Each structure stands twice: as C-alpha cells, then as structure tokens.
Amino acid sequence: MSHVALDLDVDFPRRRLSGSATLLLERVDPAAAAVHLDTRGLSIERVESGNGSGWSRARHELGAPDPILGAGLAVDLPRGHDRVRIGYVTGPNASGLQWLEPAQTAGRRHPFLFSQSQAIHARSWAPVQDTPAVRITYEAVVRTPPDLVVLMGAAGNTTGERGGTYRFQMPQRIPAYLMAIAAGDIAFKALGPRSGVYAEPPVVGRAAAEFADTEKMMAAAERLYGPYRWDRYDILVLPPSFPFGGMENPRLTFATPTVLAGDKSLVALIAHELAHSWSGNLVTNATWSDFWLNEGFTTYIERRLVEEVYGADAAAMEAVLGRQDLEDELARLDDRDEILHIDLVGRDPDEGATRLPYEKGALLLRSIEELYGRSRFDDFLKGYFDHFAFQSITTADFVAYLRAHLVKPEAGGAAGALPLEEWIERPGLPSVAPRPVSEALGRVARAADAWSAGRTDEARRAFPTWTTQERLQFLRRLPTPLPPARLAELDAAFALSSTGNSEIAFQFLLMALRAGYTGADARLEEFLVSIGRRKFIKPLYEELVRTDAGRVRARAIYARARPGYHPIAVDTVDRIVGAPA
C-alpha cells in the first residue's frame, strides 16, 4: 500500500469507529493476484476493488485469528486494479484505542478517545499492512459529536474550532504504527511559530508552561542533525491512562501528564519524542527486531538536546540514571532479550520494548562518538539521516553505512576498538561500554551514604533544592530494603507519600513495598488507580505479587484500576496479577 484514505464516524456510546479505508496499492510483483492486510478484531462489512473509474465487489478471505497478530485479510486484486475499499467497524475492546468516560478525564464533562498504534495495534482500528517496512501517505475525514475536537498525527489540526467534521492530510510517507487519532474536549496554546500544545482545558495552561522550551529544542536539533521535515511539532497531553511516557506520532506527539512536574525537570521526554522526528520517523526500523535503531538513536539525541538547552550537567545526570536503569534491566532479562538486534520470531513485538534498546543503543552511539570525536560523529549522523530519509532500514543497513562512512575496518585504530558484533548481536554490555559520570549525582550519592550511616543533616538541608534527577539518585542510593522505621523517617522528612512528582512517587512507593512500610499504602492505591503509565504500574504490581498477601492486595487494587487502564496496560497487568474472572 502507498496511500490510505479513511472515512470514519466516532461512536462514543458504542465505543467504535465505523466507516471505510481506501488503499492505493503499488504492484511490487506484477504477477501478484492478491493483497494481504492485517486486522485485529475488525468487523469487515464489505470489500471492493477498483481501477480509478469504478468499484466492484472483491473476493476476500479473513483468516483465523492469531493471538498475537490478529487475522489476515486477503483480497483478490484483478489485473488493472490498484486500489481496495473496505467497509469496517472496530471492536469495543480494540487494542489500539482507549475510550474514556467523562469521569475519567480532567474536565469530567466529555468523553475522550485516543489511539496507540505502536507496535502492531494500528490493525485494530484500520485494515492496513501493519509493518514498519511499508510507508504510506494518508488522509482522513472524521466525524464526531460537534462539541468535541478531533486531532490526528497529520496536517489539518485546528486550534480549537469545533464543528463535527474534520479533514486531515499526511503528505510525508510514514509506517502505519505512526497513524494517530484523538477526540475529546481539547484546547490549544501556541508555543512558537511552528509548535503548540493541546490538552484538556484544565491542563493546557500547565502543559504550555512546562513545554515552553520546545522551540529551543527544535532549533538545537536542526543545528545538529539537519532540517525538521514535518512542518509542525505539536504535543497532545493525554489523560493519565496513556500507557507510555510519549508516542512520537509525526506532527503530534502524544504525552503523559505525569511529566507535568511544574519545574521542567521531566521535559527530557519531549526532547526524546522530538528527536524521533529524525530517528524513528524519518529513518525507521524496518522490523521490530531493529527497534534499537529507533530508540537507541533517539535516546542518544535526546541527551544531546538536553545538553544544548539545559547544559552538560543536566544531560550527564540523565545519562547516569539511564545507565542505572539499564543495569537493573540486565539483572532481570534473559540473555535473548539483552541483544540489540533482538529475535522476536513468534513473539509479540511489545516484548522487545524494554529499556535495553534505548540505553544499550545510546551507549553504543556514545562509544562511537568518543572514538571518533563529537564533530565527526555529528557530521556522520546528519549524513545518515539525509541518506535514509523517509526509508525503513535494518540493522544490517546501518552497519553497512557505518562501515562505509565512518568505521572502516581496513583503517585499524578506532575501528578495531569498536566491537560492533558484540554490541549488536551478543547479550550484556561490552567491557568498553561508556560509564557516564555526573559530579552533581556524585555529591548526592555521598549525602545518601551519610543518611544511611545516620548523618541526616546534609540531605535534610539539600533535598528541597535538588532536581528530580538528584532526588532519584538519593533514593536509589539508599540500601534496599530500608527498615520500615527508617523509611518512615524519610517520608516524614521529605513528604514523599504526598509528592506530586510522579517519578519520585514511583521510586518511593517501590521502596515502600520492598520495605513493608505501610505508611504509603493509601498513596500506593491512589497512584495505581489514577495512573496507567506502564513504566510505573508494571514494577509496582510485580513487587506486590511477590507475597501471598501482596497478591491479594494487588488483585483488589487492580479490580478498581483496570476499567481505567488502556488495553495495552491491561494486557501487561493481566499477565502479572491475573485477569479477573
């Protein structure tokens, strides 16, 4: 497929999209007699093929559903026909859509809908070739109740005008996992001449203040890696049930409200999603086994943007904490999941979405930077993005380009110091992997060691002035588990049970579970019921179910929380706690 035209009605009472998808096709094989599409939970109402001058019924077959892939849809394509039109209805539990009742939103007056298509969830709301190897342009007409706003990751988003019918165009070619839709009571505030933020009216002001540096990030990225090629960069802050930190839909990043800390301390997430405009959206992994090409590059660029806008110290702290996250992952992952070029045969690609492709991939790129120098590596990356622009590539494509333009084996020297095969094809980290250093976090670590030894004055004095990253380092440095009495002392000193910072709250609640500290029980339940971000809820449920009593408690909390979680989060937690009867 090369172009998709959607014509959809948004039906909140029945929790479904209904309408049609018209696909324009390219015959890569002139002898091909059928087109094969992906679906999951779609009701197919009619299928037609056409040649531009008319339509006729098309023979088609919907295969048996696979628990991971859904059901394949094969459509006969007569000679001379280059398009198919499919009438369909989504299921009420589509894995790529979440339907929220008014009570689950910030405004509490209107329902809300949003999509999450990565990795293979686009097929649950449109019959498409749902692989990152195939790139398309798309257009859409979407109808919804007139008091709601519809947005898509495309041109055509309004700045607040409402009317019930909305039209969109995406002129740049993207894979289907980057298709995105949202509908609800949504307001807009401009951040600059080509950027802005959308959110529910009670949230949009806070979001605009938090993301005020977006244009600075865009300018920094263009200086380093070449022009921004998507015209606009807008951000939609979703309700807290959104299962991820962010999703890099071109033109319209989806973001969790859990990054609205009030002090810009968590806006590295915006740097990350913006960086995807080059790594991931412009140059895309061709398969989900190559996921590190998206996320490792993006994590590396994210930290370069943080350094450009907020300084080297801020970037160093993010890198140190990232290395800690990676080491935690390596301690629990199987060998097969510690490989950058991961084998996902027979597996759900969501299983590869650990911190490993992000952090190990970023360390590989930082290793190359240190070997060849930042200026030379920046030039290489700019050339890489230009060369592969709007293409989907494999790990082998990247390695070939790297060897042709930077790491030339025959040159010896630095090339011999870069064990590429070990980085990409073997578990764990090479011994030469960089170990980022932060002087600020070093000072915090010493304060944490003093606290552990009973000398609390320095931490009590400094904690209120520390950044989120410094506070995280302090908490992570403390012994695990702390005795409950010491955790109570910590809670009393710094009001950790009542903090509004989601990162600090998560870290403290994890420590509380490990210590058996009951003073945080009420906050734990409130946190798990009100937030659906998988990064937070998955480890907390995993910690809960380690004991019989904790499993009972986890099930009781989950019974309350589950109706508000996104289907992707539900699938994750069902596997931990068990699906309700």
Catalytic residues: 273, 358
Q: How far apart are CA 25 and CA 32, in angstroms?
A: 11
Q: How far apart are CA 66 and CA 120, in angstroms?
A: 13
Which segments within 334-483 are labelled E, that is strand? 391-393
Cis peptide upstream of residue 481 (ω within 30 degrees of 0): yes
The helix (H) or strand (E) run that includes residue 246 is: strand 246-247
Query: Which residues have C-beta within 8 Å of that of residue 232, sequence separation ≥ 6?
Result: 155, 194, 195, 196, 251
- Strand 60-62: give its sheet, edge to edge: 34-39, 71-76, 60-62
The three state secondary structure string of 105-174 is CCCCCCCEEEECCCCCCHHHCCCECCCCCCEEEEEEEEECCCCCEEEECCECCCCCCCCCEEEEEEEEEE
CA 566 distance to own-chain centroid = 14
Q: How far apart are CA 136 and CA 489, in angstroms?
A: 56
DSSP state of 21: E
Residue carrying structure tokens 């990409």: 424
CA 124 distance to own-chain centroid = 18
Amino acid at 273: E
Show the DSSP H helices in 191-290 as ranges.
Answer: 201-210, 214-225, 268-275
Per-residue burial over 335-349, b if 16 or more Cβ lie within 10 Å, else e, is: eebbbbbbebeeeeb
Largest Cα span, the chain: 81
DSSP state of 279: B
Radius of gyration over alpha carbons of the chain, in Å?
Answer: 24
Q: How far apart are CA 516 and CA 518, in angstroms?
A: 6
Q: Is 288 exposed, middle or buried (0-12, 13-18, 19+ CB in 10 A)?
A: buried
Q: How far apart are CA 91 and CA 102, in angstroms?
A: 20
Amino acid at 113: L
Q: How far apart are CA 218 and CA 281, in angstroms?
A: 15
Angle between helices 468-477 and 502-515 (to 10 degrees): 10
- Residue 195: name the closest of 227, 217, 177 by CA: 217
Tokens of 323: 């290395």
Q: How far apart are CA 164 and CA 183, in angstroms?
A: 11
